[in-house]
Chains A and B, each alone.
Chain A
């Protein structure tokens, strides 16, 4: 297509959509002025006024909070485990995971190329990129990796938590010191990993023929859905130690994670139940008639269909959880946003809230966008036989 053709096409489009009538033309001009005004101010701020040095100066604390500086390699190592598994997943599944992997690689490439990052950071970033591709290669090549990669994800969560906390000869890094982006991600991941199975069990429980199980599920779901997340977090903070007695002391972070998981499980349960309700009765009957028992019917026939139909809603709840992690501030934990507030409060960086909050917003935006892209893709590929 020649340049002129392209140009006339654009003009056609504008005529049709922007200047279709007098009123449209006026609205278009009005909004154009407003947009130009805002864009000018924003761009001027980003490229001229803003003093971005506040970000590199506080990058470590924004990312990992008070985590002992000499032990930050453990965070990197945990990240390595995760990106390697992601690479494997990319090699096994392809599709949208490719986009996700490229996004991750791009982020590490940016870290690698930024002028102000330290040598150690650059080396670690390079390692992450290499591991992503190594994972891809292995997931592509070896069939045993293909078979067991999902188990890898399940094992990795406790392994990473133990690694971060310190084990054996390693220096103990109390979870009270965890903070920033690290804490945000950890809470979100633990919540998602544990609330999904719990939510599925609750959904099954709510449809169970056993009266006690059904009523327990109903009461649990309705009570949790009837109270705000903050209440549940407070309850986890204050009541869990009470229930568990003196013998077992849970630290702050763990209590918050339990609170989040218990809260989100109720919502997952309702979403999954919605998915189960649209499965035709014939599917249950066909599975019964073949002689499959309850667990087999649910595992192989009902849940795969029910979950697939509610993927968009489930990813939506994942995004929500990710954003809700900011609420941990009320139980005096410092997530990414909490740390940002603290940085801003530092007299050394007075008046830099715009820079810091824009940076935080950008991180949330990138991650939430990637997640909603995954959900869109899964929506499309869930029409059977067409993926």
Chain B
């Protein structure tokens, strides 16, 4: 028993920060994830592409236990995901998530949105949390809006706040669930720019997106998802210029038209 645990921990400390083995999920009788296996190295930038309904969003939501899985195992940062609430919370502490719909807390100011989790989960003193929050807001370019409410900002600004809120917890991993899909076209760039600077840092990123240019530019590895599993994976050059599978070719020809 102890050796098994040690093995998992050492695996986490070594190279792979996320290890998924044979992940299966059903919504009722609908088999959404069909045995997905994936290892993500520390600091790696993974971009997941694929048609809608292919299970790619569901998959990254299993990594921080927003979706339960019925079969398989997931290990994040050395912690094996289980029903245990404290395990789940420990994983979420190190795994930030940025949502399609931003999901900022509308009743709090921007600053309070950023400091809530650091103060209560990381147990930082308020002054420290606020200092870091303001630095982050400066980094994403909305330093002067700290006292406003989310409803007073544009979609692009809200999404940048959401990214800053995730960064405020200083997570090892950040999951992006279609972060630009709900934005007006002219606001997509400002959010992608922030994400690009993140890709250059030492954080591990897993990004579900339809922004192919972004994938080509920043991904270390691109995964093509279809029918609830990874069809093909590899460096962006290989996936975009020289795809092996017909389904990948079809998808790319449709989307890059």
Contacts and interface: CB of A to CB of B under 8 A. Distances in A.
B121 A290 contact: yes
Contact of B152 (A285, A286, A308, A385): A385
Interface string A289-310: 1111100100011001100100
A38 to B, nearest CB: 47
A148 interface: no
A288 interface: yes
B52 to A, nearest CB: 18
Interface in A258-298: 280, 282-283, 285-293, 296
A384 B151 contact: yes
Contacts of A384: 106-107, 149-151
Contacts of B169: 290-291
B126 interface: no
Contact of B66 (A283, A289, A291): A289
Contacts of B65: 288
Interface string B98-129: 01010111110000000011001100000000
B187 to A, nearest CB: 19
Interface in B75-119: 85, 89, 92-93, 95-97, 99, 101, 103-107, 116-117
B42 interface: no
Given A285-B66, A385-B149, A385-B152, A292 B103 contact: no
A305 B105 CA distance: 9
A208 to B, nearest CB: 14
B229 interface: no
Contact of B104 (A286, A291, A292, A300): A286
Contacts of A385: 148-149, 151-152
Contact of A283 (B103, B116, B121, B151): B103
B165 interface: yes
Given A305-B106, A385-B148, A385-B152, A296 B120 contact: yes
Given A291-B89, A385-B148, A385-B151, A286 B120 contact: no
A217 B247 CA distance: 51
Given A291-B92, A291-B117, A385-B151, A305 B107 contact: yes
Question: Main secondary structure on chain A at its contact with chain B?
Answer: helix
A304 B95 CA distance: 25
Interface in A288-335: 288-293, 296, 300-301, 304-305, 308
A291 B165 CA distance: 12
Contacts of A300: 105, 116, 120
B64 interface: yes
Given A282-B101, A291-B169, A304 B89 contact: no
Instruction: Classify chain A's interface size.
Output: 20 to 34
Contacts of B103: 280, 282-283, 285-286
B93 A291 contact: yes
B116 A288 contact: no
Given A283-B103, A293-B89, A305-B107, A288 B66 contact: yes
A376 B121 CA distance: 36
Nearest to B96: A289
A305 B92 CA distance: 23
Contacts of B99: 282, 285-286, 289
Interface of B: 64-66, 85, 89, 92-93, 95-97, 99, 101, 103-107, 116-117, 120-121, 148-152, 165-166, 169
Given A283-B103, A385-B151, 6 more contacts: A289-B99, A290-B116, A290-B169, A291-B121, A293-B85, A301-B105
Interface of A: 280, 282-283, 285-293, 296, 300-301, 304-305, 308, 384-385
